[in-house]
Amino acid sequence: MSFIIRKFDYQETLGAKLKAIRRSANITLSELSTQTKIRKSFLAAFEQGDWGKLPDPIYARNYLKTYVRVLGGDVDYFLEQFESECGTCDFMKNARLPRRRASAWQFLVASRFVKVFFFCALALTIVSYVGYQVREIVSPPDLLVYEPSDGFLTSDAHVTVAGHAQQGAQVTINGLNVLLSQDGSFETDIALERGLNVIVIESTKRYSHPATEFRRVVLKQDGSISFAK
């Protein structure tokens, strides 16, 4: 086989120079693949500078040596330019590996977990506090009725209603407001009608549900009415 000596343009790429000496030798890629026992796709990758399609660099360098020797080129010269153009391509294989889907736990570092935990704890505390305050506002106030007892039977036309309510609450008996003492106690007389009397004692705070107690009192009189004082 005769070779034609050709001067290279040193600005040309490795691939262009390889293609030039192959064409000067009048050899096709298929013929060169047969002679070198190298895949045609690898030979084309060298000429196109497509390093990503080459095998691992250790094999790529050996293929390049074989490629150049068969065509009668300077092996060291071409290896040097290969190193120059593809000096870091040893790491390209790792870059071309399919990326594994990252699990969310990989990004959950301890400090972030602690921050999320404290944020959730703070939010839960605030919600619990607000809920407690709302319950306190709307819950019925305390109400105790000492007398009369439910089902009380009397012959007097008046009955004393006494009890204790939560401070700050408003108490009504049968719809009429009752004054509370400083300790929250109350006492008032209620006029009765003959027969069954239902006394409604109600205590409320602002925005709260009412606390209600019922007392049934029976007035039983024979002929005359006695007003007890």
Rg of the chain on CA atoms, in Å: 51
91 and 19 inside one domain? yes
Predicted local distance difference test score (pLDDT) of residue 100: 55
Query: Could you tell me if residue 118 is inside a domain?
Result: yes
Last residue of a domain, one of 116, 138, 160: 138
Q: Is the pLDDT of residue 95 over 60?
A: no
Average of per-residue pLDDT across 88-106: 50
Last residue of a domain, one of 96, 130, 159: 96
Tens of pLDDT, residues 145-157: 999 999 999 999 9
Query: Could you tell me if residue 8 is inside a domain?
Result: no
172 and 210 inside one domain? yes
Q: Domain of 29?
A: 14-96
Q: Where are the beta strands (DSSP E) in the chain?
A: 143-147, 152-154, 158-165, 170-173, 176-178, 185-191, 195-204, 211-219
Percentage of the chain beyond pLDDT 70 is 81
- This prediction's pTM: 0.41
pLDDT category at 109 given cuts 50, 70, 90 is: low
34 and 62 inside one domain? yes
160 and 213 inside one domain? yes
pLDDT category at 55 given cuts 50, 70, 90 is: confident
Give me the number of domains the chain comprises: 3
| CATH code assigned at 34 | 1.10.260.40
| CATH code assigned at 194 | 2.60.40.10
131 and 180 inside one domain? no
85 and 120 inside one domain? no
Instruction: Say which range, 44-48, 106-110, 112-116, 200-204, has the weakest mean pLDDT.
Output: 106-110
Place of tokens 């012959």: 155
Tens of pLDDT, residues 160-190: 999 999 888 889 999 899 988 888 899 999 9
Last residue of a domain, one of 96, 130, 162: 96
Q: What is the 3-state secondary structure (H, E, C) of 4-58?
A: CCCCCCCCCCHHHHHHHHHHHCCCCHHHHHHHHCCCHHHHHHHHHCCHHHCCCHH
Query: Could you tell me if residue 227 is inside a domain?
Result: no
